[in-house]
Amino acid sequence: MEFTITQISLHEIALPLVEPFRTAHGDTFVRRLLLTELVDADGVRVLGECSALETPDYLPETIDSAWTAIRDHLAPAILGKTFASPAEVSAALEVTIPSHNMAKAAIEMPTWALAAVKEGVSLSEFIGGTRKMVETGLAIGLQDSPSVLAAKVEGAFAQGYARIKMKIKPGADLEYIEAACMAADGGAHIQVDANCSYTLEDVEQLREMDAFGLMLLEQPLAWENLEAHAALQREIETPISLDESLDGLESVRNMIRLQAGKIVCLKPGRVGGFTTALQIHDLCREKGIPLWCGGMLESGIGRAYNVALASKPGFTLPGDLSPSRRYWAEDIVSPEWVMNEGGEVGVPVELPGLGVEVDRDRIRELTLRSEVV
Ligand code: MG
């Protein structure tokens, strides 16, 4: 099965959020989102989504840096060329420019959807997914007070979510964790995400979290410092799960070798796409490292890719795969993503490719700018 990419378009949309998203730069009420659209020589059209945020709070990439990287460096490396597999696309992108993984993933992942469409199977089936349902966790941002957080945690478990992930930072940690664990009857279904905000100086504070029996502590220290995570993991019981640190297969190998973490948060955008994500999945499975699928405030398009990935057997922990209505008044796919009372989202297997229809009229209404490369 060969394919030739004949056109790549970029679309920036402004997707309204149901509640403000808080970052270091303030509250935002819309998600600026970069969508990619690929067409092949047979006229098959697929959409992708870049996971980069508007500002470089998470990692250095932004939707603007990704736009430039795709237009000037990445798209030219695959346009007009014939590939025998999406893995060949990944290899062609890899040799263009260093880093820019989210930009690379935004055009690599749609080639997986394209290949699945051409084979007439769902994306999940195409990549060897085995689950028909995936467990869903809810991510909750920093809240104004422990009691506000506790109410949200209670509400989320009542809705059926399989676990809660809460953000923490120095000065807003133990009190908040305690409130969440009280509301949840213990920490077994609670994970905390520090987004690199602590240092090894904080080891006493971080060790106190052991008392709550949390599922995991996500990315406590600086992303480039695996050795420091290894040192911390030797001092605390709570399993560390790395997120920002893991930019590819090599960094996961290093995590395992140094024992810098015990659980992997996998985001296909962060590692350059599905080719590397699937390699990481297989390595973790072989080494007995649990995986969960992280989120980047995706629309229903990005969600389709993540749900397909999370249907692989190594994803034994709930992912950030919340239903459309958690974030969006109206999603850009139909059907919208929904969650059942058991906190699960169905893996679409009926339609070839992503398994959801893209609402092109709605995308057109929300578009701020478009460019054909
Ligand atoms: Mg994280």
Residues within 5 Å of ion ligand 1, judged at the Cβ atom: 193, 218, 243
User: Percent of the chain beyond pLDDT 70?
Assistant: 99
pTM > 0.95: yes or no: yes
CA of 244 to the centre of ligand 1 (A): 7
CA of 370 to the centre of ligand 1 (A): 30
User: Percent of the chain beyond pLDDT 90?
Assistant: 96
- Does the structure show a pLDDT above 70 at 183? yes
DSSP-derived secondary structure for 296-350: -S--HHHHHHHHHHHTSTT--S-BS---GGGTBSS-SEESPP---TTSEEEPP-S
CA of 59 to the centre of ligand 1 (A): 11
Angle at CA of residue 155, ends 152 and 158, nearest 5°: 150
CA of 320 to the centre of ligand 1 (A): 10
CA of 175 to the centre of ligand 1 (A): 20
Tokens of 43: 């006229």
* 152 carries an active-site annotation: no
* 169 carries an active-site annotation: no
DSSP-derived secondary structure for 227-292: HHHHHHHHH-SSPEEESTT--SHHHHHHHHHHT--SEEEE-TTTTTSHHHHHHHHHHHHHHT--EE
For residue 232, CA distances in Å to 219, 227, 244, 254, 287 come to 11, 9, 16, 16, 21
Across 16-25, 106-115, 352-361, least confident range = 16-25
CA of 288 to the centre of ligand 1 (A): 21
Three-class DSSP labels, 149-213: HHHHHHHHHHHCCCEEEEECECCECHHHHHHHHHHHCCCCCEEEECCCCCCHHHHHHHHHHHHHC
Q: Check if the beta carbon of residue 227 is closer than 8 Å to that of residue 196.
A: no
Given 118, 152, 167, 312, the catalytic residue: 167
Cis peptide bond N-terminal to 335, omega within 30? yes
Q: What is the pLDDT of residue 280?
A: 98
Q: What is the pLDDT of residue 25?
A: 64
pLDDT digits (tens, 9 = 90+) for 54-110: 999 899 999 999 999 999 999 999 999 999 999 999 999 999 999 999 999 999 999
Given 104, 118, 165, 267, the catalytic residue: 267
CA of 119 to the centre of ligand 1 (A): 34
Q: Check if the beta carbon of residue 46 is closer than 8 Å to that of residue 353.
A: yes
Q: Check if the beta carbon of residue 308 is closer than 8 Å to that of residue 122.
A: yes
- DSSP letter at 73 equals I
CA of 60 to the centre of ligand 1 (A): 14
Give the H or E element holding residue 82.
strand 82-83
